[in-house]
């Protein structure tokens, strides 16, 4: 273990707490995954990238992490109040496809997107439809424990009864009465006993296509239930971390906690971690508001809000520049700045191996390393960690220019620090890696021609080559060890 003092903000206690896993050396983490009825947008991607960084950092600290992130392929209705159609069924009808064709298409799309953003796959990726039996069993248990009731083929969670014995709003700290007053009154036809009650199992009307047999007739599970059933199946009744976007805390996660307590008398996760939203002009990016970008629109620049295309690593760098609990506002300027910053970082990474060493160091690399860890341990403060890594970039460039020095030992420490954090923890990677060998080959050929010109004292040609390369974006530098190049922006 490298460091034990990771502190993380826990929505449940509203405090930044020292992270201590239930079982030494192991971490169980559940993150609510996507509903696969349409292409995931950049906002969704931000949330999943944030948890990817947590997964990577915990792994780096030496924990054996079991990371479960589900795929919602049934039960997610259009409205949180158990109303509207199932999002996947609706899309299937619209496109005249089987619901599972929709699920397959958008699951593949989601995986492709996550791969482009260099997010590691979770350890287990369970689906709601693959766990209908577990959800029925959980519903039976909650009924048996007295916290749910059947009404006309559906099963509802009795929130008022639960709230009389437990703190139903523990996660958000909201006042129950205010919540009640803010919720629509039940109509005469309503099967629910209380206005905060939510469905565990929903009776399928004749035209509903996604349906399964149950003790209460043919139906389908409520959305909140799948996460309770799958998290406890793979991580136990109690586990370490539960995460998702901030918008999930008031309803989805609040109801998940209630279900798990009603079933096993235990609060499922100890640390509840919520990521803030990606916004566009201050408004949450969402499909329904029409302000969302799909990854391919972002990469090609083919969107009215985009001035040009940005690469996946530029976007990942942009995400890292904000703390996960702050909103991150999209803008062309911010992405252009991220593009420059990322290129500067990658150029420095290329110089690392070739840095000359000296008898003394002008910078304290160990202190720099401590600062990077301190930032990450402070509730995963990636913007601060990045700013320290950029101090590393400054040192690399200065040593490369001969303005500062590093000992052999410090050079090794700097290489290890930069590679570990930039590549392994923050998950950035060299782009166009397949082409770099070819570019290197081409550049070495051009530089040889230039050197021959110089040897013949044909400085007009050698200067022309330098100038032309500069125009394209290649900066060349003549040093004692020969000529090197960097890609400028």
Which residues bind to Zn ion, rule: CB under 5 A?
32, 227
Residue 49 interface partner, choices ligand AMP, Zn ion, none, CB cut-off 5-8 Å depending on type: none
Does 32 engage in binding with ligand AMP (CB under 6 A)?
yes
- State the helix-helix crossing angle for 332-351 and 408-419, rounded to 10 degrees: 140
Does 295 engage in binding with ligand AMP (CB under 6 A)?
no
In whole angstroms, how close is the CB of 259 to ligand AMP at the nearest point? 18
In whole angstroms, how close is the CB of 255 to ligand AMP at the nearest point? 14
Quote the CA–CA distance of 296 and 116 in Å, as a whole number: 10
Does 314 engage in binding with ligand AMP (CB under 6 A)?
no
256 contacts 266 by C-beta, under 8 angstroms: no
User: Residues near 138 by Cβ (< 8 Å), separated by ≥ 6?
Assistant: 200, 225, 228, 229, 232, 259, 263
Does 34 engage in binding with ligand AMP (CB under 6 A)?
yes
How many alpha carbons fall within 13 Å on the CB side of residue 323?
Answer: 13
Quote the CA–CA distance of 475 and 452 in Å, as a whole number: 19
Cβ nearer to Zn ion, comparing 227 with 262: 227
Cβ nearer to ligand AMP, comparing 245 with 268: 245
In whole angstroms, how close is the CB of 239 to Zn ion at the nearest point? 14
**Contacting range for ligand AMP; rule: CB under 6 A; set: 61-69, 262-270, 284-292, 471-479:** 284-292
Does 286 engage in binding with ligand AMP (CB under 6 A)?
yes
Does 376 engage in binding with ligand AMP (CB under 6 A)?
no
Residue 277 interface partner, choices ligand AMP, Zn ion, none, CB cut-off 5-8 Å depending on type: ligand AMP
| Buried b or exposed e, range 160-189, using 16+ CB within 10 angstroms | ebbbeebebbbbbeeeeeebeeeeeeeeee
Cβ nearer to ligand AMP, comparing 75 with 194: 75
42 contacts 285 by C-beta, under 8 angstroms: yes
Does 222 engage in binding with ligand AMP (CB under 6 A)?
no
Does 323 engage in binding with ligand AMP (CB under 6 A)?
no
Does 347 engage in binding with ligand AMP (CB under 6 A)?
no
Does 46 engage in binding with ligand AMP (CB under 6 A)?
yes
Cβ nearer to ligand AMP, comparing 49 with 389: 49
Residue 273, φ and ψ in degrees, nearest 5: -115, 130
2 contacts 62 by C-beta, under 8 angstroms: yes
What is the total residue count of the chain?
489
In whole angstroms, how close is the CB of 76 to Zn ion at the nearest point? 9
Cβ nearer to ligand AMP, comparing 295 with 392: 295
Does 284 engage in binding with ligand AMP (CB under 6 A)?
yes
Look at residues 237, 212, 21 and name the one whose alpha carbon lies nearest to residue 128: 212
Cβ nearer to ligand AMP, comparing 36 with 262: 36
In whole angstroms, how close is the CB of 36 to Zn ion at the nearest point? 13
Residue nearest to ligand AMP (CB): 245
The residue within the footprint of ligand AMP, chosen from 61, 248, 269, 298 (CB under 6 A), is 248
Residue 227 interface partner, choices ligand AMP, Zn ion, none, CB cut-off 5-8 Å depending on type: Zn ion
In whole angstroms, how close is the CB of 230 to ligand AMP at the nearest point? 14
Cβ nearer to ligand AMP, comparing 109 with 197: 109
Does 260 engage in binding with ligand AMP (CB under 6 A)?
no
Cβ nearer to ligand AMP, comparing 35 with 259: 35
The residue within the footprint of ligand AMP, chosen from 235, 285, 315, 396 (CB under 6 A), is 285
Does 245 engage in binding with ligand AMP (CB under 6 A)?
yes
Residue 126 interface partner, choices Zn ion, ligand AMP, none, CB cut-off 5-8 Å depending on type: none
Q: Which spans of this chain sit near ligand AMP (rule: CB under 6 A)?
A: 32, 34-35, 43-44, 46-47, 244-245, 247-248, 277-278, 284-286
């Amino acid at each position: 273990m490298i460091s034990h003092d990771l502190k993380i903000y826990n929505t449940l206690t509203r405090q930044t707490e020292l992270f201590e896993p239930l079982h030494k050396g192991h971490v169980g983490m559940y993150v609510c995954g996507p509903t696969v009825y349409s292409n995931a947008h950049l906002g969704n991607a931000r949330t999943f990238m944030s948890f990817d960084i947590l997964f990577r950092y915990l792994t780096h600290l030496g924990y054996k992490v079991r990371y479960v992130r589900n795929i919602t392929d049934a039960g997610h209705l259009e409205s949180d109040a158990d109303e509207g159609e199932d999002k996947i069924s609706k899309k299937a009808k619209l496109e005249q496809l089987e619901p599972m064709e929709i699920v397959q298409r958008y699951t593949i799309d989601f995986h492709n997107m996550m791969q482009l953003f260099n997010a590691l796959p979770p350890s287990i990726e369970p689906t709601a439809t693959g766990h209908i039996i577990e959800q029925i069993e959980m519903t039976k248990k909650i009924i048996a424990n007295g916290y749910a009731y059947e009404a006309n083929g559906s099963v509802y969670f009795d929130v008022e009864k639960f709230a009389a014995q437990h703190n139903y709003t523990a996660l958000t700290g909201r006042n129950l009465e205010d919540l009640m007053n803010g919720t629509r009154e039940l109509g005469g036809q309503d099967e629910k006993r209380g206005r905060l009650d939510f469905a565990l199992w929903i009776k399928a009307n004749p035209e509903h296509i996604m349906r399964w047999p149950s003790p209460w007739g043919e139906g389908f599970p409520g959305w909140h239930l799948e996460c309770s059933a799958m998290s406890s199946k793979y991580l136990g009744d109690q586990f370490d971390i539960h995460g998702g976007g901030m918008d999930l805390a008031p309803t989805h996660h609040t109801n998940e906690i209630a279900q798990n307590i009603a079933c096993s008398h235990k609060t499922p996760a100890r640390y509840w971690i919520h990521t803030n939203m990606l916004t566009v002009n201050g408004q949450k990016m969402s499909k329904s508001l029409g302000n969302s970008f799909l990854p391919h629109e972002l990469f090609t620049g083919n969107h009215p809000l985009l001035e040009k295309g940005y690469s996946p690593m530029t976007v990942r760098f942009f995400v890292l520049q904000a703390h996960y609990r702050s909103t991150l506002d999209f803008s062309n300027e911010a992405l252009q700045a991220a593009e420059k910053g990322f290129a500067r970082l990658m150029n420095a990474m290329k110089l690392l191996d070739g840095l000359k060493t000296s008898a003394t160091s002008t910078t304290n690399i160990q202190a720099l390393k401590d600062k990077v860890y301190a930032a990450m341990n402070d509730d995963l403060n990636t913007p601060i960690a990045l700013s320290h890594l950029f101090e590393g970039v400054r040192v690399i460039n200065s040593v490369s220019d001969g303005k500062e020095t590093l000992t052999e030992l410090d050079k090794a420490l700097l290489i290890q620090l930069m590679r570990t954090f930039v590549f392994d923890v923050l998950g950035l990677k060299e782009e166009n890696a397949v082409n770099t060998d070819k570019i290197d080959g081409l550049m070495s050929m051009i530089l040889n021609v230039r050197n021959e010109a110089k040897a013949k004292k044909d400085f007009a040609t050698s200067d022309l080559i330098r100038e032309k390369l500069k125009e394209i974006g290649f900066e060349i530098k003549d040093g004692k060890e020969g000529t090197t190049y960097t890609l400028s922006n």
